[in-house]
Amino acid sequence: MRQIDSQVLTETVEKGFIEITHLPGGDLIAALDKARQEEDSPIGKDILTQLLENARLGREEQTPICQDTGNSIVFMEIGQDVHIVGETLSDAVRRGVSQGYTKGYLRASIVGDPLERKNTRDNTPPFVHTEITSGDRIKITMMAKGSGCENMSRFKMLTPAQGRQGVVDFVVDTVLQGGGKPCPPLIVGVGIGGTFDMATYIAKKSLFRPVGEHHPEPHVKELEEELLEKINNLGLGPQGWGGRATALAVHVETYPCHIASLPVAVNIECHSHRVKTVTI
């Protein structure tokens, strides 16, 4: 049994959230640069150039690449041979988020009660998801996800008769209805199957793949490619000002479901895409 001090978790989360708000991943930069090269719209190309310049400034000047420093989302894969000593896992992660947003001078965006709307002042609580896996390591994936894109996400319980085409129509319509509000170019996460909650879970989890990395199953990869083509044919373009680069990628995840169900969730991610994975 491997012991991990809870302070290590706290420090990892603290550092991670400061870094991802300033340092866009190489996969995102490559996808934005590719989109710029392929963009036909002069306005769209100019916007993509500005987004890349914004990313450069964030990296060099250590400033947030977006004023909305997001919901603090944490996915954890915890080895069954790990024992955490000190604080509980949830307390350690919460403290890491609090310290990261405070020390990093990041905007606090979370209200403690959805109706009373009083700000918690340190972006807590985080939204934590855990899975138990084999081994003696903890894999932590952190995401700072703004609400401009989160607000444009949707769920629908299709009937099995609507099938694959129903999924395609719903995903494309979700992007169309969002327009420029979620700050395209987007990464579109899609969860198909499971239950009401599972579909939304795997839709968000799909966003953790490197931008543009396809699902290993050929028929799912084919669906991702078709969705990306249809979305980019909508003409919304960067920031909704017209052009081809409405989305950089579509990531689809699937899960077994009931014979009477076809749940579909679409989790929209903006161009900032602030994600980092650390294993301890």
pLDDT of residue 253: 98
- pLDDT at position 275, please? 97
Kindly state whether residues 164 and 210 are assigned to the same domain: yes
Q: What pLDDT score does 241 carry?
A: 96
Q: What is the pLDDT of residue 200?
A: 98
Q: Which helix (H) or strand (E) is 255 found in, with range?
A: strand 247-257
Among residues 98, 119, 145, which one ends one of the domains? 145
Are residue 96 and residue 213 in the same domain, yes or no?
no
Please report the pLDDT score of residue 139 as a whole number. Answer: 98
Whether residues 264 and 157 share a domain: the answer is yes
**Which parts of the chain register pLDDT below 50?**
none
pLDDT number for residue 50? 97
42 found inside a domain: no
What are the DSSP calls for 130-155, one per residue? EEEESSS-EEEEEEEE-HHHHTT-EE
pTM, to two decimals: 0.96
Judge if 6 and 141 occupy the same domain.
yes
Beta carbons within 10 angstroms of residue 192's beta carbon: 23
> What burial letters (b/e) apply to 65-100, b meaning 16+ CB within 10 Å?
bbebbbbbbbbbbbbeebebeebebeebbbbbbbbb
What range defines the domain where residue 201 resides? 148-274
247 & 159 share domain: yes
The per-residue pLDDT for range 39-84, each reduced to its tens digit, is: 999 999 999 999 999 999 999 999 999 999 999 999 999 999 999 9
11 & 131 share domain: yes
The predicted pLDDT at position 258 comes to 98
Which among 111, 145, 179 is the end of a domain?
145
Q: Domain for residue 45, yes or no?
A: no
